[in-house]
Amino acid sequence: MAYMSMGEAHRRITDYLNRFSDAVSSQDVVSLKQLLSFSSNSPSLLSLADSLNVFQDANRLIKQSDNYSPFADITVPLFRSLQHYRTGNLVDAYLAFEKSANAFIQEFRNWESAWALEALYVIAYEIRVLAERADRELASNGKSPEKLKAAGSFLMKVFGVLAGKGSKRVGALYLTCQLFKIYFKLGTVHLCRSVIRSIETARIFDFEEFPKRDKVTYMYYTGRLEVFNENFPAADQKLSYALINCNPQSEANIRMILKYLIPVKLSIGILPKDWLLEKYNLVEYSNIVQALRRGDLRLLRHALEEHEDQFLRSGVYLVLEKLELQVYQRLFKKIYIIQKQKDPSKAHQMKLDVIVKALKWLEMDMDVDEPSLWMSRWNV
Amino acid sequence: MERRHHSQSHSQRQQGRNHFSSSSSNQSRSNNRFSFPKSSSSSSSANDVRDRRRETQEEKQEEAIVGTCPFMCPEAERLQRQRLRDLAVFERLHGDPRNSSPALAVKKFCRTMSAKEVRASDVRPLPVLEETLNYLLSLLDSTEHPFEVIHDFVFDRTRSVRQDLIMQNIVNDKAINMFEKIVKFHVISHHKLRSSCSSSSISPLHYLNLEQLTKALTSLYNLYEANWSSKPIHEKEAEFRSFYVLLHLDSNGQPVGESLSLWFRHVPSPIIKSKEMWFARQALRYFQMGNYRRFLSTVAAEASYLQYCIIEPYIDEVRSLALCCIHNCYYKLHPYPLGHLSKVLMMEESDVELFCNAYGLQTCIDELGNKLLPTKQTTFCRPKGGLQNYSFLGFQQLGRQIEL
């Protein structure tokens, strides 16, 4: 780090504070959000952090000036957080940032218009990301990670601030999506229910008013919840919405949506084309699709085993396992078709030993009883 | 702690002057008409936040009581219940409904609103809880009283034991051991209560037992996870985890807690690969596919006693399906030997006959004395009342597995 003089440090700090108060008084959200976005690691924020280390009396500077003291509750902890962030002390950075964010929310509530909404988004994002990093730090020190959970509580409070009649309510969906990300990460997915209820059934919000980007994210997460609950028609509807309205440029997002949409579509008998799987690198589904096409039971079991961990973690394993029935149906249909071609007069009688042979070839070890079982299920 | 500073600073600011906002701080709150999961008003939201944080380890330790009650039942409670004649059969000294003793009285379950309301002298420390649990479980062997009566008492008193453990935030190996025993009690009751009720509708006792089984199981899983860093795998964890899968065999049924897909996400890999979990997943697969043959034979071959107890209600369903399939297509040409049916249904032959009769099917005997289902019967119908309990082949061997 190049040597910075006391004067230079002082200048940079007052520069920041001036930009902050100018942004607020002229309602310039673009400038304001840049001042809050730690994770952008912008050179100006980094050099501000360095300046704070050199000129250590920023608090007095803030409190003694009429220009800066109104935002003291925001900037004092913000500076502290930035310093901790710079030294890699994430737990303290999170705690201080949350304090600053809390003060910001109080001001935000008093501002009549929604001019600062995007700055609020930045704060919500930073809270989540800082909390995640803080938890990693806690876990690596053998302590129990609970900052992300605290972030969830904090953002619920912010959500409450946005819910209301004013123009600020369009921000609620962004907050919801941040909350979803937190709950999914923590595994406390049941907490999504209450916020979904607020969005969907409480009569404050008109879903169509929300920004498209937020709607896509929302449908992605609620679609995934439907997959977990094996509610396939709803999952299909929501994930398809997300897919159709997703930015075609963002391939990573499309991939994430497809990862859950494909098992749903497979369950209702719709197979994706191979090029789709290749384009979005979802080759773990290739063998499953193939197995469904061919009626290849062995391939299905093999594919499930090969990617078992991955499928279990993403929560689609049980959905894919249920495809076994469809694979059987496909197999028997093919046998039926072949037999019919060979001997049309006896088409209605499927020979059991033919079936047993086919199954044996697929390494599915069965006695004569079992195929009859399937036949009886489908009234063949 | 950070949280409390927030609420203090907020109220200070409300009293102080706002330099750069002209409107009052109450403005945005006045338009809230809706019930939100967390209140948006400032003071109660600080409380909400504190309540939620209560669940974190630090808060738990701050609030966790250390119990000092030396008896199975706090003396004050025992004396009061003696006065009020509120003593269970097992608590009465020489059968006297007005008299108990420290050796007989056990603390009743009682809902408390928060840990703050409870006195340390009413809470039993770990060693006392262990003794209490052992005593309670020993009552299960008693033959003096009908099972429902014993179950009812042990049900309530173990619930109080669980409550004392949780209130004191005891999360070590011993707690795990105790919760495992309690879950075992509920599982065996699940089986025994079913045998004793004759109708197909589930008795309230049975339902409530299932409810507590699920709660105790969830607490147990939390304990396993809390101990993950100090001891990754517990001896019986795989079996107890498998219970969750077996309780959720029917995805169309009442969802109890998290969906299976979600639940699987945070099961540790070694558990998933265990044979107990493998069995449960196979049972799930065969059940959902309707493969009655493999379902029943796998259960017979692989299930432990406790796993069998949980899966028992599904066995009837599967057998019903089996009979239906067989009736629909198997014996159109030749009579179906009951011996074979007995192997498919994993049922004693004598019970098979009763089972078929319950479904409106007659049996006959051939020249060799073998019992058969004659062909082309048209009288198949589902039994209107409930089914009685039928045997399960190999059950006797399973029964020998239990030790409480």
Optimal mutation site among A376, A378, A379, interface B, most CBs of chain B within 10 A: A376
User: Nearest to residue A13, comparing CAs of A43, A59, A52, A39?
Assistant: A52
Per residue in B357-366, pLDDT (tens digit) is 888 888 888 7
**Structure confidence at residue B65 (pLDDT):** 83
Which is more confident, B345 or B24?
B345
* Model confidence pLDDT, tens digit, residues B76-110: 999 999 999 999 999 999 999 999 999 999 999 99
Among A275-279, B286-290, B321-325, B378-382, the minimum mean pLDDT is found in: B378-382
More confident residue, B143 or B62: B143
Q: Is A322 on the interface with B (CB under 8 A)?
A: yes
Q: Could you tell me if A25 lies within 8 Å of chain B, comparing CB atoms? A: yes
Report the pLDDT value the prediction gives residue A350, as an integer from 0 to 100: 65
Selected residue of A157, A165, A175, A301 to mutate for chain B interface (largest B Cβ count, 10 A): A157
Please tell me which residue, A103 or B62, carries the higher pLDDT value: A103
Report the pLDDT averaged over residues B316-337. 78
Between chains, do A204 and B34 touch, taking CB under 8 Å as contact?
yes
- What is the chain A residue with the closest CA to B321? A377
| Phi, psi (deg, nearest 5) at residue A195 | -75, -30
Using CB atoms within 10 Å of the CB of residue B394, give its burial: 0 to 12 exposed, 13 to 18 middle, 19+ buried: middle
Q: What averages of pLDDT result for each successive group of 10 residues across chain A (380 residues)?
A: 82 93 93 93 91 89 88 94 94 96 94 92 97 92 88 95 86 96 91 91 84 95 94 95 95 96 95 93 95 92 94 94 91 85 72 71 61 58
Q: Which of A102, A148, A310 to mutate to test the interface with B (most CBs of B within 10 A)?
A: A102
**Among A174, A170, A256, residue whose Cα is nearest residue A213:** A174
Contact A107, A120 (CB under 8 A): no
Residues 6+ apart with CB under 8 A from B222: none
Cβ within 8 Å, pair A95-B2: yes
CA distances (Å), B332 to each of B321, B326, B375, in order?
Answer: 18, 10, 6
Locate the chain B residue with the closest alpha carbon to A316.
Answer: B261
Return all residues near A374 (Cβ < 8 A) that are at least 6 apart: A328, A332, A380
Are A280 and A253 spatial neighbours (Cβ–Cβ below 8 Å)?
no
B93 contact partners, CB below 8 Å, separation of at least 6 = B99, B100, B101, B104
Q: Which of B2, B229, B261 sits opposite A98 (nearest CB)?
A: B2
Examine the pLDDT at B289 and tell me if it is beyond 90.
Answer: no
Interface of A with B in 187-216 (CB under 8 A): 187, 189-190, 194-195, 197-198, 202-204
pLDDT at B278 over 80: yes
Q: What is the mean pLDDT of residues B112-124?
A: 80
More confident residue, B22 or A52: A52
List pLDDT tens digits, range A156-205.
Answer: 999 999 987 788 889 999 999 999 999 999 988 989 999 999 898 877 78
The residue of chain B nearest to residue A202, with distances taken between CA atoms, is: B34
Q: What burial class does residue A72 get, using C-beta atoms within 10 Å of its C-beta: 0-12 exposed, 13-18 middle, 19+ buried? A: middle
* Torsional sign, CA B246, B249, B251, B253: negative
Q: How confident is the model at residue A378, as a pLDDT?
A: 58
In angstroms, the Cα distances linking A372 to A124, A324, A349, B232, B355 are 59, 16, 12, 45, 22
CA distance B339 to B350: 10
User: At B365, which helix (H) or strand (E)?
Assistant: strand B364-365
Interface pTM, i.e. ipTM: 0.81
pLDDT of residue B181: 97
Q: Which residue, chain included where needed, has tokens 């197999």?
A: A331
